Structure 1
Amino acid sequence: MANELLFLWLAAFPLMGSPGPATMSLAGLGTAFGFRSSLSYLLGIIAGTTVVLLLIATGATALVLAQPLLLTALTIVAGIYILYLAWKIAMAPVGPMPLRLEQAPAFVPGFSLAIANPKAFAAIGAVYAGHTLVADSPMVDAVLKLAALALVIMIVNTLWLGFGATFSRILRNPTVGRAANVLFASMLVVSVGFALIAASET
């Protein structure tokens, strides 16, 4: 089982940790507001992505995908919020951290974005369905995969926030800081486009 777990992680970390709406929003918020101020949003992303994992494990995603109107509504709402989030990141205060009084988005926005993130469904679904840890016990296999992938969710999202926060400490110059915020905001919008294209092709 150790080898199967290793192969699962080797697939999960690059696939689930690659740039997407959730990871890019975390990096952008880390840059714009710092690590500590964005912790509540991080917890929302982790919780929401874990719910996506549970939906995939229980087969509940099939019920969502079977409702085109619900899926379209979720996509539209998520797209609108991501555009707002990209604007918030691009326009966040820059300069020394003590002067950044504006608050980063909290738990609920992070949770909502994770739930409506098409990249999460595609990446987690591919990893979950493509690996078996315990062939002769579906229940044990499901529990172990849930635990292993939940760990991946926590690690990759925390690393992306830390990556962005590292930039927030380096980019003290207001001009450079503004440019970094706009760059991360643009990457967030682009990542959403790629995620939606990938989801429409599956």
Structure 2
Amino acid sequence: MAEQVFSHPELWRQLLALILASAVVMGSPGPATISVTAIGAAFGLRGSLRYASGIILGTVAVLLVVTTGITAMLSSVPKLTPLLAVASATYILYLAFKIATAPPLAARTGGAARPTFLGGFVLAVANPKAYVAIAAVFAGTSSTDELDAGLKLAVLASMIVAIHALWLLAGAAFARFLRKPLASRIINLTFAAILVLTTALAVIPLGGPTGQTGGSGPGIGGQFP
């Protein structure tokens, strides 16, 4: 495969297009990415690693579900998507509450509850918009002969790791400002509000016409996890 990559200019162009498309979709604010940033800000880098790992592995699981065609099977169950939306929104509201009420890092005891790996994993796999966005990116290059499924999977999985790691680091950068009670409260409340807003924007359109989810990449970019 390495020889194929380096000897085909067209493959390079297709890889670049795939990377750019996934960066736009996956890099845009959404429930999962904003939650990783908010958790990083509220609990610091070390305290957020388990949750971020859950988000990443959960999103990779969504990628595998989409590419193996399981999504088509799940779409035959009409009530499944609303149930996923409710489950995701409920957990995100709980997460937003934890972020908004998190004490300053300097005042936090070692026993303070931190978001778990399971919580991140559940949020990722219960977010219906993740399936829509990943399917859009994957299908966008499905008609090309140069890119095989294995290579696309590897590229998209790598992008999932990189994007969420960057969002986590961005959030953790705010942690140093959270040692002062007032700054901690303002930043935590801000991130909690943004998390609720992005979740509302991602979930509410589910009740609209299905054609609304079939637009271009940027149109659904803000609804990715």
Query: What TM-score, normalized to structure 1?
Result: 0.92
Q: Is contact 1:23–1:157 with CA below 8 Å preserved after alignment?
A: yes
Q: In structure 1, what is the Cα distance between the partners aligned to 2:90 and 2:23?
A: 28
2:139 paired with 1:129: yes
For the structure 1 residues 97 and 15, does the alpha-carbon distance in structure 2 shift closer, same or farther, using more than 3 Å as the test? farther
State yes or no: 1:29 paired with 2:39: yes
What is the CA–CA distance in structure 2 between the aligned matches of 1:29 and 1:110, rounded to whole Å?
A: 10
5+ long unaligned stretches in structure 2: 1-10, 214-225
Q: CA deviation at 1:192?
A: 0.7
1:23-46 Cα shifts (integer Å, max 9, x gaps): 011011001100111101111001
Displaced runs of 4 or more, over 3 A: 97-101, 197-201
| Equivalent of residue 172 in structure 2, options 165, 175, 186 | 165
* Secondary structure at the counterpart of residue 79 of structure 2: helix
Q: Distance in 2 between matches of 1:89 and 1:165?
A: 13
Deviation per CA, 1:119-147, whole angstroms, max 9, x where unpaired? 311221111000148506xxx71111110
Contact 1:20 1:119 (C-alpha < 8 Å) held by counterparts: no
Matches within 5 A, 1:38-53: 38-53=48-63
Q: Are the equivalent residues in 2 in contact too, given 1:30–1:38 (CA < 8 A)? A: yes
CA distance in 2 between counterparts of 1:117 and 1:17 reads 16
Q: Distance in 1 between matches of 2:77 and 2:122?
A: 19
- 1:97/1:36 CA distance change after superposition, 3 Å: farther
Indicate if the aligned counterparts of 1:12 and 1:149 stay in contact, CA closer than 8 A.
yes
Deviates more, 1:59-68 or 1:183-192: 59-68
CA contact (8 A) 1:27 1:165 kept: yes
Check whether the contact 1:43–1:110 (CA below 8 A) recurs between aligned residues. yes
Q: If you compute each CA radius of gyration, which structure gives the higher value, 1 or 2?
A: 2
Aligned pair 1:153/2:163, yes or no? no
Structure 1, unaligned runs of 5 or more: none
2:25 is aligned with 1:18: no
Measure the CA separation in 2 of the matches of 1:37 and 1:159.
16
The match for 1:66 is 76
Q: Post-superposition shift, 1:199?
A: 4.2
CA RMSD of aligned residues (A): 1.8
Structure 2 letter corresponding to 1:80 = T
Counterpart of 2:15 in structure 1 is: 5
Give the corresponding residue for 2:201.
194
Partner in structure 2 of residue 105 of structure 1: 115
Q: Identify the residue that residue 7 of structure 2 maps to in structure 1.
A: none
TM-score using structure 2 length: 0.83
Name which of structure 1's ranges 78-87 and 167-176 shifts more when overlaid on structure 2.
Answer: 167-176
Q: Structure 2: how far apart are the matches of 1:162 and 1:103?
A: 20
